[in-house]
Amino acid sequence: MKKLPARFESQLFALLLTGATSLIVASVAVFQHIGWTDGLVGQCVQVWLPSWGIVFPFAIVIAPGIKKMVRCWVEPEN
């Protein structure tokens, strides 16, 4: 399997992390709203995909600022 170039590492990380976390949050919200019923998975996906489409670009935009803040608060390793 051919791998992506290293320059795409942070974007791929953001894509996978936001996908997973937004799926979890959307699923919890849908479950709390409609309970354990037929169509739960479909409803979760229906809510999750637009959410992911919003959160992923935001993650790409704000990640550099967050990294900079973290570097201010963490002692670098020797």
In the chain, the number of structural domains is 1
- 14 lies in some domain: no
Rounded to the nearest 10°, the torsion over CA 10, 12, 16, 22 is 70
Residue 78 lies in a domain: no
* Tens place of pLDDT per residue across the chain (78 aa): 999 999 999 899 999 999 999 999 999 999 998 889 898 999 999 999 999 999 999 999 999 999 999 999 999 887
Owning domain of residue 41: 37-71
The continuous run of DSSP H or E covering 45 comes out as helix 40-73
Tell me how far the alpha carbon of residue 47 is from its chain's centroid: 14
Please count the residues of the chain.
78
Residue 12 has a pLDDT of 93
What is the predicted pLDDT for the residue at 78? 77
The reply to whether 51 falls in a domain is: yes
**Confidence (pLDDT) at 31:** 93
Q: pTM, whole model, 2 decimals?
A: 0.78
